[in-house]
């Protein structure tokens, strides 16, 4: 047990299988640090979520323990109600009042983080989950893999494109220019603060009200397109009449005050919670266009595809990899191989535990699998006519050599 920020953390030394049954085949999702699977508490039969993390600094952001172990297993409550935008798309009469109530719950979760001086840094709809499918189900904030204590030193450009604040984009721009030598590395690096979460909240509210993001591009690319970047950096967005004519001025006001380019002009989380839109006693029963927009796949398919491509490209940190020469590596596996003697380099060898010998069985096993695929009607290999098998194998072999020319020299050597 360790104490962190006044909260007791228990790290158990017994097997998790003593208390929980784990469904290894059912995957609920994957955060940035590891997959999430279904587990059941044996004592109560309660369905829970199990997150599996490799024990490394990024994972320690989610579990602040001091265990020196290979993996961290976090058992969390199961959120059966789905993600925020999926929930909205399934609701035929999603009103502005409902949007206000959801915003208040998100803001309360964010306030708790900011009171601990913790920046979430990845606030987006996928990380906002409903507890269950009831009408009054609470929404909760999850996935703290990018979260970091704000000590005035936030400078890592980690983000999800549609929800990224201008300051994080600026950090990315400077990071890339310094890395490529375009500008010298600054002794005082450019930093941003936890107000980046408030910008992301503004984007979420905007999409929740109308069904599409305030900053987007018609051009899909692996990086944020220039026109979309420019809109974010200048805070250029509007409220198109078709979708926004029936939405209250209070809602527009909170969006405007959150999507301020300068962090010092942006609403704080306390300002959001005190805003009239979150505390309005009016009915605000106007049905929002967002549900219909989110249901119309043709409308959102473009920016969803771009979002997925940009996410895969941009959420991966830069890794500075340097490989040592083999003769200077102090690796136990390489040492063992040297002691056993080198094998010919014109083939692949696999250790056979039954015979205790190394044999060239890799290609043989591959051949058997492929034969089963291309000759399914023949059943077992022993029932396959030899000439038929040889003809199919030769065709396949020629195709492989055509794709991988580097194997041709090995093949000639073996022959």
- Both 124 and 48 in one domain: the answer is no
| Together in a domain, 62 and 88 | no
Specify whether 93 is located in the same domain as 45: no
Selection from 243, 301, 297, 247 nearest residue 277 by Cα = 247
CATH number at residue 250: 1.10.510.10
The confidence score (pLDDT) of residue 163 equals 87
Is residue 210 located within the same domain as residue 130? Answer: yes
At which of 76, 102, 124 does a domain end? 76
In a domain, 359, yes or no: no
135 and 232 share one domain: yes
Task: List per-residue pLDDT tens for the chain, 415 residues long.
Answer: 233 444 445 567 788 899 999 988 888 877 666 788 899 999 999 999 988 877 665 555 555 434 445 577 888 888 888 899 888 888 878 999 999 999 999 999 999 999 999 999 889 988 899 998 888 899 999 888 788 888 777 776 555 678 888 998 888 888 778 777 887 877 777 788 899 999 999 999 999 999 989 988 776 655 678 888 899 999 999 999 999 999 999 999 999 999 999 999 999 999 999 999 999 888 899 999 988 888 765 445 555 555 445 444 444 444 445 566 666 667 666 676 667 665 544 444 545 444 455 545 555 556 665 665 655 444 444 444 555 556 666 666 665 655 555 555 555 555 4
In the listed set 37, 52, 76, which residue is the last one of a domain according to the structure?
76
Q: β-strands 82-83, 47-54: how paired? A: unpaired
For residue 265, give its domain range. 82-314
pLDDT of 3 = 37
369 within a domain of the structure (yes/no):
no
Q: What is the CATH number of the domain that holds 43?
A: 3.30.200.20
In a domain, 183, yes or no: yes
Collapse the DSSP code of 314 into the 3-class scheme (helix H, G, I; strand E, B; otherwise coil) and give the result: helix
Does one domain contain both 62 and 114?
no
User: Does an H or E element contain 40, and which?
Assistant: strand 35-41
Q: State how far the Cα of 89 lies from the Cα of 293, in Å rounded to an integer.
A: 8
Roughly how many angstroms between the first and final C-alpha of the chain, as a whole number?
63
Q: pLDDT at position 52, please?
A: 80
How many domains is the chain partitioned into structurally?
2
Nearest to 86 by CA among 294, 273, 266: 294
What is the token pair recorded at 364?
């043989």
pLDDT in the model for residue 101: 95
Q: Tell me, yes or no, whether 5 lies in a domain.
A: no
Angle at 37 between CA 69 and CA 110, to 5 degrees: 85
**pLDDT value for 139:** 94
pLDDT at residue 146, rounded to an integer = 84
Residues 266 and 289 in one domain: yes
Q: Are 22 and 16 in contact (CB under 8 A)?
A: yes
> Which uninterrupted H or E stretch holds 369?
helix 362-374
Pair 87, 72 in one domain: no
> Max CA-CA distance within the chain?
84
CA distance 377 to 351: 32
**Do residues 148 and 118 make contact, with C-beta atoms less than 8 angstroms apart?**
yes
Q: Is residue 98 domain-resident?
A: yes
Indicate which residue of 8, 18, 122, 352 is catalytic. Answer: 122
> Are residues 209 and 71 both part of a single domain?
no
**Shared-domain flag, residues 94 and 231:** yes
122: annotated active-site residue: yes
Last residue of a domain, one of 280, 314, 348: 314
221 & 287 share domain: yes
Same domain, 72 and 144: no
Q: Which of 78, 72, 77, 76 is nearest to 12 (CA)?
A: 72
CB-based burial of residue 251 (10 Å sphere; 0-12 exposed, 13-18 middle, 19+ buried)? buried
Q: What is the pLDDT of residue 176?
A: 79
CA atoms within 13 A on the CB side of 8: 3
CA distances from 143 to 81, 182, 192, 281, 318 (A): 16, 35, 21, 33, 21
Domain assignment present for 158: yes
Nearby residues of 170 by Cβ (< 8 Å), 6 or more positions away: 190, 192, 233
């Amino acid at each position: 047990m360790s104490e962190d920020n006044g909260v007791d953390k228990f790290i158990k030394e017994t097997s998790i299988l003593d208390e929980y049954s784990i469904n290894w085949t059912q995957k609920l999702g994957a955060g940035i640090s590891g997959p999430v699977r279904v587990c059941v508490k044996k004592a109560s039969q309660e369905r829970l979520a199990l997150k599996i993390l490799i024990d490394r600094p990024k994972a320690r952001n989610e579990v602040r323990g001091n265990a020196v172990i290979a993996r961290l297993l976090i058992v969390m409550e199961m959120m059966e109600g789905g993600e925020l935008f999926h929930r909205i798309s399934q609701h035929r009469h999603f009103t502005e009042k409902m949007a206000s109530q959801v915003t208040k719950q998100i803001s309360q979760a964010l306030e708790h983080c900011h009171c601990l001086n913790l920046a979430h840094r990845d606030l987006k709809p996928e990380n906002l989950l409903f507890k269950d499918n009831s009408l009054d189900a609470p929404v909760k904030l999850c996935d703290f893999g990018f979260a970091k204590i704000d000590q005035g030193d936030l400078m890592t450009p980690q983000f999800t494109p549609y929800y990224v604040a201008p300051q994080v984009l600026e950090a990315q721009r400077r990071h890339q220019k310094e890395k490529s030598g375009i500008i010298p590395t600054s002794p005082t690096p450019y930093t941003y603060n936890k107000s980046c979460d408030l910008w992301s909240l503004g984007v979420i509210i905007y999409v929740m009200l109308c069904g599409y993001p305030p900053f987007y591009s018609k051009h899909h690319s692996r990086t944020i397109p220039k026109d979309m970047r420019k809109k974010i950096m200048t805070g250029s967005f509007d409220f198109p009449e078709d979708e926004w004519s029936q939405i209250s001025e209070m809602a527009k006001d909170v969006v405007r005050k959150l999507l301020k380019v300068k962090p010092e002009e942006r609403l704080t989380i306390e300002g959001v919670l005190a805003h009239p839109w979150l505390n309005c006693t009016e009915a605000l029963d106007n049905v929002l266009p967002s549900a219909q927009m989110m249901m119309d796949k043709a409308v959102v398919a473009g920016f969803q595809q771009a979002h997925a491509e940009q996410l895969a490209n941009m959420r991966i940190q830069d890794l500075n990899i340097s490989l040592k020469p083999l003769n200077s590596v102090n690796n136990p596996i390489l040492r063992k191989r040297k002691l056993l003697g080198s094998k010919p380099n014109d083939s692949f060898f696999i250790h056979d535990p039954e015979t205790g010998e190394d044999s060239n069985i890799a290609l043989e096993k591959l051949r058997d699998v492929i034969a089963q695929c291309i000759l399914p009607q023949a059943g077992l290999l022993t029932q396959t006519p030899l000439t038929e098998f040889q003809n199919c194998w030769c065709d396949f072999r020629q195709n492989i050599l055509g794709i991988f020319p580097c194997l041709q020299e090995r093949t000639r050597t073996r022959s």
